[in-house]
Every structure is written in structure tokens, then in C-alpha cells.
């Protein structure tokens, strides 16, 4: 559960009672590029896309962001710092418009809830605001990280993978998510929404110089005031962009690219994990960011959907892809042929039981050793035979017929038996006479 530090209910009363709060209400005139999910739908399941609320002496504002590790949120720099040297028409001049000094981290709060509500328990406070470099130009640098006071538990929200290992390409499909408004007037903000199947228009230097810088890319449409800092995600759900700015009437959105900032994001996320005593995120340790490398290992499945993300092994358990950079957990090995994590199975003849790994054949014989299925004796290794009732190999000695053991002692003859009987009768008569 999210924990709250020093946030009064009065703040949230103003948030909901003073009308809808645009994404960056302090400088809405200068950030006409901030966006809303226009034409989308309410999104209750992308809980790793979080709402940001800032309240301080400078004023208040709302933004969006993405949880990329238990205690790190990716967002836009203009959500955590003021804008200076804006263009004369209230917009952004990429040649002169800069960021000011970042806001106090303690004035920023994050929630995984579908809507920005009044309950302080729904929010966690930021501990640190990280930007690539202070007072940079807005264009090309609109990216920031928030380190949280307390990590968000996996049972509440599983962090989303940032696509730091694959550059984005024009024409790719992406989906936009955020807490922005539903129209150009800022109405309906404060609820997480999503719009699907948009198309990347151009990336970096492929874009017209007045559209995006080398570290940015241009999207299609659909986002306006309230969604700044929110993610664009690819078809696998990985974050590929951070909403930055755009044209009038929610057109021509520009996103800060994720892959160009890979080294910075890796260094800061590792540092944040180490300071909090948390495991370093796998994506920051060189793992591929494709979801197939990050799925659960173990648990029964019948189809891939049972293991999302990840894959369903043909033997009926959830697993994931693996390689040298993405090793398998203890008890599993990376199958070099299929590049998936497999049980470290016991081989034929090894001892097996409830407290051991499974047999490769999945047959633990009644003698407590791994066996294999068979139908003929030729299916079994030397020294073993096929038990026709069990249909698996057993020690060949078990299949041999029981030996016929002859009775020991003297042979019986009719004449000898009569003589012995007469002798006993004579001895009995003599004893009675005495």
C-alpha cells in the first residue's frame, strides 16, 4: 500500500473542488504542447502508469508518469521544473526556452489509482527529483525521474519496462496513456485514459528541424493538457516515449525518446535501488527488454496467455526466454536450442520425490528413481525392462518370474511308510505293557 507523508486533505479538496486541474497549471500558457488522451477510453488496468500531483508555494499542477522500477517514476522535466524564457506567443522557442530549477521533491506525490482522488493513503511522496542537467533547453531534454520515498509493491503495480535497448522506428504502432483532459478546454482531467493504435510519424533527425530534436520523435494525435510525462508504449507494452509538447488542438504530439537516455536512466535507477536496499531492475543490468525475458518462471499453463508476460513451455509450465545476459533462476537452466528456461530435470535412474526437481521424463518410479515411458523392453536401457502394467522401465530383476524352490527332505515311498507305521504301533504296545 502506498504511504503518505505530510499531505493534507485540504490539498485534495482543492484539486477536486476548484475545477479540473490541467497537467501543468502553473505555466499552461508556455506549454501548449502538453497533451490529453483525446478520444481514448478509461484505463483501470495500466496501474504502472501513475498520476502525479504537485502542491507547493509555486502553485499546484497534475501530470502523468510511469513506474519503471519499484521506487523510480519516469516523467517529463516540465512536470518537475518551471519553464523560463518562453516564446512571445506563450509557446516554446526551442532556441531559448529553458527549464528553471526543479521543484522541491517533497511537494510531489504519486498514485497508482485510476483517478486523482482525495484519500492521502492513495499517494506516495517523492524523495528526489532527477534531471539530466539543470537549466537545459526544453526541446530535447524534457525527461525526468522521481525517486519515491517508499517503493511500490509488486502486488500493487508491476513496473513497466523502458525500451532502452532498441531504437524506435517511424511507422511503429504505439499506445498513449495519461491522466489528461478529454477536450481542449481541460475538461475531464484527473482520470487515467488510453488511446490505442497510433503511429510514429518520424524519429529524431528524420523529423523536420522545427518539429523534434535528435532525441525526440513525433506522434500522431490524441493527447493534450494533462498527459505530459505520460508514456507512449509499443506493441509489447514497453515505454518508448514521454509526452512533452505538441501543436494546437491536441495535434502533432512530440515525445522525449527513451532509448537516447538509456545510460542516464540505467545509472540513476541502479543508484536509487542500491540506496533503498532493493534489487537492481533487470533491464538496468543488461537484460533484453522484450517481455518474453521477464515473465514468471513456474506455475502451470495451457497457453501463452496464462503466463503473460513470458511463454508457456510445451511441458505445461510458465517460463521465459534466456541468454547470457538474462540467466535463469535457481533450479532452471537455459536450453541453448530454444533459449528458454527449463527445469534442471533429474536424469534416468536418479533419486526423485516430492522434495526434488522433476524427472526429465516426468516419471518418478515407485522405487523412487526417475524412469521413462516404454511399450517394449527395447525402449529401456540395459538392465531394465518394460513393465506392461506400469508402462515404464523398471529393474529387469523385477520382471523375472519367481523361481520354483523344491521341497527339502527324504523322498516318500509306500513300502517305507508302512514299515515306519508298523514300527510305531509295536513300540506303543510295549509301553502299555510296562
Each residue's pLDDT tens digit, 122-134: 999 999 999 998 7
What percent of the chain lies above the pLDDT cut of 70?
78
Closest CA to 250 of 208, 209, 308, 193: 193
Bridge-based pairing state of the strands 216-218 and 108-111: unpaired
Q: Which of 14, 64, 55 is nearest to 37 (CA)?
A: 64
Rounded Cα distance between 407 and 217, Å, is: 96
How many Cβ atoms from other residues are within 10 Å of residue 398's Cβ?
11
pLDDT of residue 426: 56
Q: Residue 340: how many CB atoms within 10 A of its CB?
A: 21
Tell me what pLDDT residue 14 has. 30
- Extract the runs of DSSP E, i.e. beta strands, from 229-377: 231-233, 239-247, 251-257, 311-312, 318-319, 332-335, 340-343
Region 318-336: what's the mean pLDDT? 90
pLDDT at 38 over 80: no
Can you tell me the distance from the alpha carbon of 181 to that of 228, in angstroms, rounded to the nearest whole number?
11
Rounded Cα gap, residues 100 and 187, in angstroms: 28
> If DSSP codes are grouped into helix, strand and coil, which group holds residue 216?
strand
The backbone torsions φ and ψ at residue 418, rounded to the nearest 5 degrees and listed phi first, read: -65, -45
Residue 186: pLDDT over 70 = no
Whole-number pLDDT of residue 327: 93
The DSSP element (H or E) to which 195 belongs, if any, is strand 193-199
* Stretch 336-343: mean pLDDT: 88
Q: How many contiguous H segments (helices) and E segments (strands) does the chain have?
A: 4, 22
| Model confidence, pTM | 0.74
Region 48-57: mean pLDDT is 89
Per-residue cell: 343: 527445469
**Strand blocks (E) in 5-143:** 41-42, 49-56, 59-69, 72-75, 83-84, 98-99, 108-111, 123-130
3-state secondary structure of 367: coil
Residue 173 has pLDDT above 80, yes or no: yes
Consecutive H or E run containing 198? strand 193-199
Give the total residue count for the chain: 434
CA angle 73, 235, 305 (to 5 degrees): 100
Nearest to 5, CA basis, from 112, 136, 148 = 148
- 35-44, 136-145, 214-223, 415-424: which is most confident: 136-145
Confidence of residue 172 (pLDDT cuts 50, 70, 90): very high
Determine contact, residues 193/23, Cβ cutoff 8 Å.
Answer: no
3-state secondary structure of 221: strand
Which carries the bigger pLDDT value, residue 191 or residue 60? 191
User: In the predicted model, is pLDDT for residue 11 greater than 70?
Assistant: no
Confidence band for 277, pLDDT divided at 50, 70 and 90: very high
**CB neighbours of 10 closer than 8 A, spacing ≥ 6?**
none
Instruction: Compute CA distances 204 → 77, 141, 215, 246, 416, whole Å.
Output: 19, 13, 6, 15, 116
Amino acid at each position: 500500500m502506498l504511504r503518505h507523508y505530510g499531505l493534507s486533505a485540504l490539498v485534495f479538496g482543492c484539486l477536486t473542488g476548484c475545477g479540473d486541474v490541467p497537467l501543468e497549471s502553473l505555466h499552461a500558457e508556455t506549454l501548449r504542447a502538453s497533451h490529453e488522451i483525446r478520444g481514448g477510453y478509461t484505463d483501470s488496468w495500466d496501474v504502472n502508469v501513475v498520476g502525479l500531483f504537485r502542491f507547493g508555494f509555486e502553485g499546484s499542477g497534475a501530470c502523468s508518469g510511469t513506474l519503471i522500477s519499484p521506487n523510480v517514476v519516469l516523467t517529463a522535466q516540465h512536470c518537475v521544473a518551471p519553464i523560463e524564457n518562453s516564446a512571445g506567443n506563450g509557446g516554446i522557442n526551442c532556441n531559448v526556452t529553458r527549464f528553471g530549477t526543479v521543484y522541491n521533491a517533497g511537494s510531489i506525490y504519486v498514485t497508482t489509482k485510476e483517478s486523482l482522488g482525495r484519500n492521502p493513503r492513495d499517494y506516495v511522496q517523492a524523495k528526489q527529483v532527477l534531471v539530466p542537467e539543470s537549466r537545459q533547453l526544453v526541446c530535447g531534454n524534457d525527461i525526468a525521474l522521481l525517486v519515491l520515498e517508499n517503493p511500490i509493491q509488486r502486488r500493487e503495480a508491476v513496473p513497466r519496462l523502458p525500451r532502452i535497448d532498441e531504437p524506435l522506428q517511424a511507422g511503429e504502432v504505439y499506445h498513449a496513456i495519461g491522466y489528461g483532459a478529454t477536450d481542449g478546454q481541460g475538461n475531464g482531467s484527473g482520470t487515467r485514459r488510453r488511446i490505442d493504435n497510433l503511429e510514429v510519424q518520424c524519429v529524431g533527425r528524420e523529423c523536420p528541424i522545427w518539429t523534434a530534436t535528435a532525441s525526440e520523435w513525433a506522434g500522431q494525435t490524441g493527447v493534450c493538457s494533462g498527459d505530459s510525462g505520460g508514456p507512449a508504449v509499443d506493441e509489447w507494452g514497453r515505454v518508448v516515449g514521454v509526452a512533452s509538447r505538441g501543436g494546437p488542438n491536441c495535434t502533432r504530439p512530440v515525445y522525449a525518446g527513451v532509448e537516447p537516455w538509456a545510460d542516464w536512466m540505467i545509472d540513476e535507477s541502479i543508484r536509487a535501488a542500491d540506496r533503498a536496499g532493493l534489487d537492481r531492475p533487470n533491464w538496468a543490468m543488461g537484460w533484453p527488454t522484450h517481455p518474453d525475458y521477464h515473465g514468471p518462471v513456474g506455475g502451470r499453463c495451457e497457453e501463452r496467455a496464462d503466463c503473460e508476460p513470458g511463454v508457456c513451455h510445451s511441458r505445461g509450465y510458465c517460463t521465459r526466454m534466456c541468454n547470457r545476459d538474462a540467466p535463469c533462476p535457481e533450479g532452471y537452466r537455459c536450453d541453448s536450442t530454444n533459449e528458454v528456461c527449463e527445469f534442471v530435470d533429474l536424469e534416468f535412474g536418479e533419486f526423485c520425490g516430492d522434495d526434488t526437481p522433476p524427472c526429465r521424463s516426468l516419471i518418478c518410479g515407485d522405487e523412487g528413481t526417475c524412469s521413462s515411458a516404454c511399450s517394449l523392453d527395447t525402449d529401456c536401457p540395459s538392465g531394465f525392462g518394460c513393465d506392461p502394467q506400469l508402462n515404464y522401465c523398471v529393474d529387469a530383476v523385477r520382471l523375472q518370474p519367481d523361481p520354483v524352490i523344491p521341497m527339502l527332505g527324504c523322498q516318500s515311498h509306500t513300502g517305507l511308510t508302512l514299515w515306519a507305521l508298523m514300527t510305531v504301533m509295536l513300540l506303543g504296545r510295549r509301553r502299555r505293557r510296562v
